[in-house]
Amino acid sequence: MHACYSDIPALFGERGLKDGAWAFGSGESSVEYPVVTGVIMWVLAKITPDKSATAYFYINAIALSLLFIACALLVRRVRPEYAHLALVAPAAIGSLFINWDMWAIISMLAAIYWFDRKNFDYSALALGVSISTKFMPIFLIFPILFIFWRRSELGKFLRFSAVTLTTFLVINLPVALTTPQAWWRFYDLNLNRGPDWGSIWYSLSALGINLANVNYLSILLLLVGFAAISIYLLELRSTPTLASTSFTVLATVMCVSKVYSPQYVLWLLPLAVIALSNRKDLYAFWIWQGAEAVYHIAIWQHLAVITDAKFGLPLNLYALISLIRIAATLYFVAVLVRRGLASGGQSLDSHRSLREFLFASADKYP
């Protein structure tokens, strides 16, 4: 009811961390997170005095706050004129202490920062760490492949992929081989989950529109979204940066996924800030943030009803707010795409640029 839920103290007890249990040592009771996150949870539990859930929360909160500031500093190096937005966005501040996602976000931003400065090995290493912390950054491989292709540097893409995969394997294999069931738990939960809170699929179902085969539909819609992004990128005369395309890619993924957790805004916020290129687009940023802030309240008030509170948000109203949040995200993406096409990236003949993609040699692209 007070919109202040956190996984941190809850899982401290429920996953045996307060008793010193290894994060991946007990099958179904293991943490439902990838390896790096699980190790962080376990290490911070080890240094928690008196095995207190309150102390464990505060230790994590301090670490997450420092990571949040570090992310803002990274954003400042990429987009200094708008960096302050990364610290004042209300939905992000409200979601900061829900769980451990900031550990993956900082390494993802480092990967983007190094990539656009052509430090590809460092970028690939950071991306491998980020994917091992939370699997979401795997989708950045799509714009990375496109950028290397536009530069006629597919050999560098193969090296980049090899470094990323090697990093992932070095981190994951020790746990996967020793406790495979515990390691697989995170991936199993995400692959087999049904339509869940915050998603377009859950909202449609709540409003009486029940769709079969949601797993296939979500994949199909994701492919459609990626096809649309590909067409947009092909319309750009100059090769885009990873920083400028990452928000569009991850926002698309989150709009069609089977769940949208409140802390996902933490992933999108720094990417949204570095994607901004014109002050005139700030209104769209705040429309998106406003929708995220309303949703942040709505999800907890809806869960209050589910947990038998005397007041809260009914299902149909929660579903409507969820759809408004998705619409606001897509609107912000549309504004960024329009700006990208209008700021010198759009070709003089749209059909001609597509023909070039199909028939021209790679050396015609910058």
Q: What is the pLDDT along the chain (366 residues), one digit of tens a residue?
A: 778 889 999 999 999 999 999 999 877 789 999 999 999 999 999 999 999 999 999 999 999 999 999 999 999 999 999 999 999 999 999 999 999 999 999 999 999 999 999 999 999 999 999 999 999 999 999 999 999 999 999 999 999 999 999 999 999 999 999 999 999 999 998 888 889 999 999 999 999 999 989 989 999 999 999 999 999 999 998 999 999 999 999 999 999 999 999 999 999 999 999 999 899 999 999 999 999 999 999 999 999 888 888 888 999 999 999 999 999 999 999 999 999 998 744 333 333 444 444 444 444 444
Residue 153's Cβ-side half-sphere holds a number of Cα atoms within 13 Å equal to 16
- Domain-located, residue 171: yes
- Domain-located, residue 308: yes
pLDDT score recorded for residue 60: 98
C-alpha–C-alpha distance, residues 303 and 297, integer Å = 10
- Domain-located, residue 1: no
C-alpha–C-alpha distance, residues 189 and 186, integer Å = 5
- Please, are residues 263 and 101 in contact by the beta-carbon 8 Å criterion? yes
The structural domain count of the chain equals: 1
C-alpha–C-alpha distance, residues 306 and 308, integer Å = 5
Which structural domain range is residue 270 located in? 7-364
- Please, are residues 141 and 124 in contact by the beta-carbon 8 Å criterion? no
- Domain-located, residue 2: no
- Please, are residues 1 and 300 in contact by the beta-carbon 8 Å criterion? yes
- Domain-located, residue 90: yes
276 exposed, middle or buried (CB, 10 Å; 0-12, 13-18, 19+)?
A: buried
- Domain-located, residue 311: yes
pLDDT score recorded for residue 29: 82
C-alpha–C-alpha distance, residues 18 and 107, integer Å = 27
- Domain-located, residue 326: yes
pLDDT score recorded for residue 348: 32
- Please, are residues 85 and 285 in contact by the beta-carbon 8 Å criterion? yes
C-alpha–C-alpha distance, residues 163 and 165, integer Å = 6
